[in-house]
Amino acid sequence: MEITADYSEVVELPDGTYQARIEDCEQKTSKEGNPYLNWKLVIVSEEPKHNGAVCYKSTPMTKKGAGFLKQFLKAVLGPDAPASGGTFNTEDLLGKYLTIECKTQEDQNFPNVTKVLPAQDVAA
């Protein structure tokens, strides 16, 4: 079988702080059976080589890892973020902006979103 590799979305992204737009969100289940959200974030930058770079962030929806989901929602929705047990629609978050900090781990070759903050001024 012949397969064509498409790395068009792969852009080298140095460690740093970036503005990002939420492009997509999918609910998935881990191998252990735990639900999580997989966010597709697109970098919005005046630096042409970084603009359009794609990062992914998984946020567990239960247990200890849900704290990052709470941080994520607060960064995007501010005081309108749902309280624990509250509901939200991921489609309402598409197109919204936030600030992300990325760091590439030694054992990985892709940027890991380590922190999310409210968006700074972003030209849409």
Domains of the chain with CATH codes: 17-118 (2.40.50)
Kindly state the average pLDDT of the residues 55-77: 90
Instruction: Please report which confidence band the pLDDT of residue 122 belongs to, taking 50, 70 and 90 as the band edges.
Output: low
| Secondary structure of 45-65 in HEC code, one letter for each residue | CCCCCCCCCEEEEEEECCCCC
- Cβ neighbors of 84 (< 8 A, separation 6 or more) are 70
Phi, psi for residue 111 in degrees, rounded to 5: -70, 135
Asked if the model's pLDDT at residue 108 lies above 80, the reply is no
Is the whole model's pTM more than 0.85, yes or no?
no
